[in-house]
Structures are given as C-alpha cells and as structure tokens.
Amino acid sequence: MTKNAVRANRIRLPALALAAALVPAEALAHASDRGHVLLLPTGHYIAGGAAAVALSFLVLAFAPQPPLDRLARWRLPLGAPPPGLRLAGSALSFLFLAFLVAAGFLGSRDPLTNPLPLMVWAVFWVGLTLAQSFLGDIWRFLDPWYAPWRLLSGGRAAPHALPARFGYLPAIVQFFAFAWFELVHPAPDDPAVLATAVCVYFAVNLAAMLVFGHEDWARRGECLSAFLRMMARLAVIEGRDAPDGRRRLSLCLPGAKLVGAPPLPPSGALFLLLALSSVSFDGLMRTFFWLGLIGVNPLEFPGRSAVVASSTVGLAAAFALLGLAFFAAGALGERLAGRTGATLAAAGALVWSIVPIATAYHVAHYLPSLAVDVQYALAALADPFRRSVELFGSPHLHVHAGALMGADRVWLIWNLQAAAIVGGHLLAVLVAHVVAFRLHGSAAGAARSQLPLAVLMVGYTVLGLWLLSAPTAG
C-alpha cells in the first residue's frame, strides 16, 4: 500500500464516522424524471405487457409452423466486405484505444470532459452493443486485439488449445468482473482508474490470445467479444465465411440467426444469463425497494462506497436466481413434453431466445442516457487533453441535457422503453417457439415444452417494466 493510500485510509475512517454522526442539513434529492414516471399509469402498461407476451405464446401454440420456419431461413445476399478490412479496422481501433487510454491518464480528471469514460461506457458499452444487436457483427472489424495478435503471433497456430472442459468459464469470470467494475466499484468513471482497468484487461486478454489463439479466446474467454458476438445473432445482417475464404454478407429477419445457432454448452448459456442478470441488477440496485432491503435511506444515498458489499452480493444473487429459474423452466418444459435426457441440450438451444430480452433491457436502460452522453463524448473528443473547465461555458461545448427532461419527453421515453421491453419479449417467445418446434417436431410438443419458459418470460416482462417505473434514488 502506498503512503498516500495509507494516509487516505487514516483520514477516511474518522471522516465517515463523523459523517454518520453529524446531521446533514439539506438533501437535494430532487424530483428527478422518475418523478414524472411515477404519475403515469405504469400499472396498466405492466399488465398490458404481460398479457401481450402471454397471448403471443398462446397464438404461437396454434399457429402453423412451416411458414415461421421458412421466414427464419430467408436470406438476401448483400455481397462481401473488402478483404483486409478486419485487419485495418482492428489496427485503427487499437490505435484509437491507445489514444483514449492516454487521454484517460493525461487528460481532464472530470469524467464528463475526459473522452475515455464517455467512449467506454456510453459509445462502446451502450452504442456499440446496440449497433451490434440491430445491424450485425461490426465488432469483428473493430476488435482492437486482432491486429496486435496477428502482429505478435505472426499468424501461427496457437501453442495451446483452450481446454473444452473450461467451456465459457473464462468469459463468465471476466464478465462478472466487468459488471462488478461497472456497477459496484466506487469510481468506474474516474479516467485514471478506468485507463488502468482497460490496460490490464487488454494485456491479460492479448496474452491469453497469444496462448490459446484469437478465435477461441474471443469466443469463450474475452467476455466483451463473446457478449458482442452473441448479441449480433439478433441482428439483420449475417456474415458467413464462404468456401473461397471470403466473407459473405446477407440480410435476414431479426432473430432469424438465433433460431439456427448451434446450441450453447451450459456454461455458454450461463454466460448469456449473466449478461442479462447484470443489466437487470443495474436497474434493481437503484430502486427504493432494493435500498430498503439493504437498509439505505434512498433520499440520502450514502454513495457507492457504502454499498460495495451488498451490491456485490446482489449482482451474484441476480445471476444465480436467473440461472436457476431458466434451467428449472427448461427442465420442467422437457418433462411436460415427455422428453428425457436432453434437458441441457434443449436449454442450450433455447437460451438464444434470451438475446432479444438482453437487447431490450439494454435499450430500455441505457438508450436515453446515450442521447446526452454522446454529446459529452463529442465535446470531450474535441479537446481530449484539456485539464480545466475554462471552455466549458462556450457555446460549442454546451451539452443539451434537456433532451431527456420534462414530462412530455419522459412520457415519450417511457413509451419507447415499454415498447422495447415488450417487443424484446415477444421476439423471445417467437424465437423460443421456432427452436422448440425444431427440437420437438410438433407444435403440441413445442407448446408444452415452452410453457414454463413462457411463464418466466411473462415474469421478466413484468420485472423489466417495473424496474423502469419504480421509484429510484438519484
């Protein structure tokens, strides 16, 4: 521990004791935009959303299957991306990341004027994930590891194979660490803290790629690539490697790629469920309900530092609960359909139906803030190494935060969020149904096997809408 850290700790303990002992005399917890949401008839939306998802399941149980199957197989060829695009894109992406990390260490200490936190948390984690979900595997051309790996490995085969028995475990461990850093760490926005985290994460995963090969580690080890590749299966552009080695792109319907995706091993299914549970917990941890559970006054939120332990437990518990619920629903469904012995395989195929739900949660929870954060990001990129707020008041840097404010905008945003949550679940029911039909070969068997999962999806619709309508701190 450094001298500074020792001194900081020495100061902090009496400081916190004093903070607890003193009477804080003002609380500026204002009527945030959630206040407008509390006046909306959100209960009706929740009931309506749940009914729509349940009804869609019933309709599908009686719908003719072959047309749905044909729709899922429909493709429109789009041509091929230029060869070399992947290497060039990756090299540029790596250089841009290096530039952002430099800005993180050397630029402004303010997370809203330093480009690194804005690019990582807003543009990459929110923006790129959504682009990936709607368009396709853009990450393939932006992955900053590929070019350095090619350079360092010389394109030779990996010295070791990543053991199959590990499954997606490395990605699960890393994603949990990533989610913990985002949601629980006291200062994930701090430019220097984030720059350090990015360097460590990049180096660890580059080293692993040199040992196990880029492709396998990006699929099962490096959690951001693994996550983004899974999200891209929802999208409308499909990329496939043709026999001539060229990549071919084609257009398909949203979710169609999920139906034909190879079943995931149980660890892969758990990885996808971890991604969804972390976004769900991100919503839950701000609610009065959760803060009440951990004994925190939501009007006097003591800051992230004070809730590290409870948030860590909550993040892990959310993952455990969702994992348990999903596999229990899968097992029960197989039993209802009269099948035995293939429960895990069925779950591995059906888990792809989680992708539209994860995307819906991502849209609903993060898209509104993206509208403002992108403005901050552009302003920060305009002057990445400045270290004062001298220019902040100048017109070209004024951030229009009002885009999200006021009752009418809140109404609009709430409706978009509700549409995303319900739409995502409807698509999930559809995907699950087509997958189940392929597994069972009959509409009746598919419907019976889907019943528990449909109940889970209705429940998750209710949870999603409730998280967006419940009172929250801040």
Partner 1 sequence: MTDVRKPSRLFPSSVSRRGALKGLGAAAALGAAPGFVRYAQAQSSAPVRIGFQAHRTGIGAAYGRWYERTTAAAVKAINDAGGINGRPVEIVTEDDGTDPARGAEVVEKFASQHRVDLVYGTLFSHVVTGSAPAAGELKIPYYVVSEGYHVASGKLNRWVIQPGITDVRAQCRSVAPWIAQNVGKKITMIFPDYAFGHDHRDFFGPAAEEQGAQVIARIAIPPTETSFTRYFPQIPSDTDVIYHVMVGPAVLTFVKELGEFYGGRGPKLFGFIDSLEAVDINSPGLEFLEGSHFWEGMPRYLQPDASEAERAYRAAVGLDDNGAAVNDPRDVSTNAHMFGCWETLHIIKRSMEAAGYRGIEDRQKLIEATEAMTDMEEGIEHPQGPKRFDGRIHQVFGTQNISVVENGRLNVVHKTSIEDGLYEPEADYTAQAF
Question: Which residues from 297-326 bind partner 1, rule CB under 8 A?
Answer: 297-306
Name the residue nearer to partner 1 (CB basis): 281 or 326: 281
Pick the stretch among 16-24, 355-363, 414-422, 454-462 that binds partner 1 (CB under 8 A).
16-24
Closest CB 28 distance from partner 1, rounded Å:
6
Q: How far is the CB of 160 from partner 1 (least distance, A)?
A: 38
Residue 110 in contact with partner 1, rule: CB under 8 A: yes
Q: Pick the binder of partner 1 from 389, 412, 442, 444 (CB under 8 A).
A: 389
Residues 272-301 within binding reach of partner 1 (CB under 8 A): 288, 291-292, 297-301
Phi, psi of 237 (to 5 degrees): -115, 130
Restricted to residues 195-254, the positions that interact with partner 1 (CB under 8 A) are none
| Closer residue to partner 1, CB minimum distance, 219 or 304 | 304
Cβ closest to partner 1, residue 29 vs residue 200: 29
Q: How far is the CB of 3 from partner 1 (least distance, A)?
A: 9
Q: Is the dihedral of CA 181, 183, 187, 191 positive or negative?
A: positive
Minimal distance, residue 101 CB to partner 1, in Å: 13
The reply to whether 76 sits near partner 1 by the rule CB under 8 A is no
Nearest 10 degrees: Cα torsion 256, 259, 263, 268: 50
Window of 25-33, 151-159, 219-227, 331-339 that interacts with partner 1 by CB under 8 A: 25-33
Burial (Cβ within 10 Å: 0-12, 13-18, ≥19) of residue 11: exposed
Q: Does residue 8 belong to the site contacting partner 1 (CB under 8 A)? A: yes
Nearer to partner 1, 11 or 317 (CB): 11
391, 412, 415, 442: which one binds partner 1 (CB under 8 A): 391
Distance between CA atoms of 296 and 294, rounded to whole angstroms?
A: 6
Residue 406 binds partner 1, judged by CB under 8 A? yes
Beta bridge partners of 79: 249
- Taking alpha carbons only, the member of 287, 304, 224, 272 closest to residue 431 is 272
Measuring CA to CA, how many Å separate 255 from each of 55, 242, 248, 357, 423? 20, 22, 19, 11, 12
**308-336 and 169-183 helices, crossing angle to 10°:** 140
- Decide if residue 371 touches partner 1 (CB under 8 A): no
Residue 393 binding partner 1, by CB under 8 A: yes
Give me 206's structure tokens.
């580059």
CA distance 179 to 175: 6
Which of 89, 111, 213, 283 touches partner 1 by CB under 8 A?
111
Cα radius of gyration (the chain): 23
The Cβ of residue 317 has, within 10 Å, a number of other Cβ atoms equal to 12
Residue 157, H or E segment: none
Report, in Å, the least distance between residue 399 CB and partner 1: 8
Q: Can residue 38 be called a binding residue for partner 1 (CB under 8 A)?
A: yes
Binding piece for partner 1, criterion CB under 8 A, among 1-9, 245-253, 317-325, 454-462: 1-9
- Which residue has tokens 């196990």? 212
By CB under 8 A, residue 403 contacts partner 1: yes
350 touches 436 (CB < 8 A): yes
